[in-house]
Chains A and B, each alone.
Chain A
């Protein structure tokens, strides 16, 4: 009954956390400009991927068989 974790991409929460982090970094505007451009690109990709993930998500239900019910 052990489960294998689904690891094709980083979990949504991690992506969201990174997205917020990037937005904060860009807000401060302290990083060198090429770094800012890199962060921007990464942020936009993350936003897109999170969006797509949420919009395409379908409820996944796995059913376990109980020991005590027939």
Chain B
């Protein structure tokens, strides 16, 4: 042994390399002792068996799903680390489970697959929650916050709901499973509309009673829908899969059975009441208006107006009719007059034929009333010729004959 001495630090460094790199990741089974949950949140303990012990630490940042107790046998996953200032080595623990939990995981998966194959989880056989829910059955522990929270939630949201509470063992294994199963059967006989089975969070072992075939069958055979409300959001149990509805927490289950709150209903009732008042007021107002229209003469006035309107229309039609008739009568009368004149002029004894003559001046026929003066150049038209003449003198006759044939006989003109 003639070697150069090394420093403590160098030696520790070498040990650190051996332990942290050389051994590194470990899974160790042992018994817990000196467990301390420090106020900092970190947990310190010693893992031991009959002949040896090793310190362990589990930092605050690591999740622990159960409360370790001295004497408990646990399986620890972690890596070795050396704390140089004190020359100590320990396990830096990432995961800790009660011993046998691996078997539980395996059993859970096996049962899950078995029940799935049997159709226990078939969505088609799940029942919706009934509406309305009048009475709810609750199976959970009589102690602890869970039942209190659920009753508070229900009381706050819908106190008219009736609750049948069946205190139930919901911690551990087969015995609790049987109690849960009995509770479901008993609540089925209590005329409830829905049953909640649940408990607060805990380790896989704590929740194990919800992972058995016994409970699965009790839920499957329940006559009313079952809500499974076990642990926290992240805890999943067989009962969650089989239940008609899974609630993430017991409080959420209490909300599920009170979908409509008393406040909602009160608001709805008020709205209905206002609707009824406005409807009936509308009807009454309507009737009043009809009644008033009779008493204040409005109806009579309207009736007269309508009669007047109709008689005006009749008048209009009559006027139109008589105008048409008058027009057609006038037209006929004109045609008759015309024809008559024609007939007269065509008469065989027309005046020229009978030797009468027509006197014209400047091409215009002179009527009996037209003045004619001496010296006027005139034409005398006879049946077969026209004579040009000059008037020498005009003498008024004492009397005139009443004849009028468009020809002047009242005038006696002397011509050359």
Q: Which residues of A contact B (CB under 8 A)?
A: 1-3, 5, 11-13, 16, 19-20, 22-23, 26-27, 29, 33, 36-37, 40, 43-44, 47, 50-51, 53-55, 57-69
CB-defined contacts of A16 to chain B, threshold 8 Å:
265, 268-269
Q: Does B279 contact A (CB under 8 A)?
A: yes
Known contacts: A55-B266, A65-B167, A69-B169. The answer to whether A23 contacts B272 by CB under 8 A is yes
Please count the residue pairs between chain A and chain B whose beta carbons lie under 8 angstroms apart in the complex: 119
* Identity of the chain B residue whose Cβ is nearest the Cβ of A12 in the assembled complex: B160
Q: Are B159 and A59 in contact (CB under 8 A)?
A: yes
Residues of A within 8 A of B358 (CB): none
Whether the pair A3, B190 counts as a contact (CB closer than 8 A) is: yes
Which B residues are within 8 Å of any A CB, using their own CB?
Answer: 132, 134, 142, 151, 154-155, 158-169, 175, 178-179, 182-183, 186-187, 189-191, 262, 265-266, 268-270, 272-273, 275-276, 279-280, 282-283, 287
Return chain B residues, CB-CB under 8 Å to A2: 189
Q: Is the CB of A50 within 8 A of B167?
A: no
Residue of A nearest to B281 (CB): A40
- Chain A residues with CB below 8 A from B269, complex form: 16, 19, 47, 50-51, 54
Known: A37-B280, A59-B163, A69-B169. A1 touches B272 (CB 8 A): no
Evaluate contact between A1 and B190: CB separation under 8 angstroms. yes
Contacts of A12 in B (CB 8 A): 132, 160
**CB within 8 Å for A22 and B276 given contacts A50-B269, A59-B151, A66-B167:** yes
B168 CB contacts on chain A under 8 angstroms: 66, 69
How long is the Cα–Cα vector from A62 to B161 in the complex, in angstroms?
12
Determine the main DSSP class of B at the interface with A.
Answer: helix
A61 touches B165 (CB 8 A): yes
**Interface contact B276-A64, CB-CB below 8 Å:** no
- B230 → chain A closest CB, angstroms: 18
The docked-state distance in angstroms from the alpha carbon of A50 to that of B175 is: 45
B167→A29 contact, CB < 8 A: no
Q: Known contacts A3-B190, A26-B279; is A62 also within 8 Å of B167 by CB?
A: no
Q: Report the minimal beta-carbon distance from A15 to chain B, rounded to whole angstroms.
A: 10
CB closest residue in chain A, given B163: A61
Which residues of the partner chain A approach B165 to less than 8 Å between Cβ atoms?
61-64
Q: What are the residues of chain B within 8 A of A47 when measuring CB–CB?
A: 269-270, 272-273, 276
Residues of B with C-beta under 8 A to A51: 266, 269
Distance (whole angstroms) from the CB of B293 to the closest CB of chain A: 17
A51 to nearest B CB, angstroms? 6
Give the complex CA separation of A22 and B276 in angstroms: 8
**What 9 additional pairs, Cβ within 8 angstroms, besides A3-B191, A19-B269, A64-B165?**
A13-B132, A26-B279, A29-B283, A37-B280, A47-B270, A59-B161, A61-B164, A64-B164, A68-B179
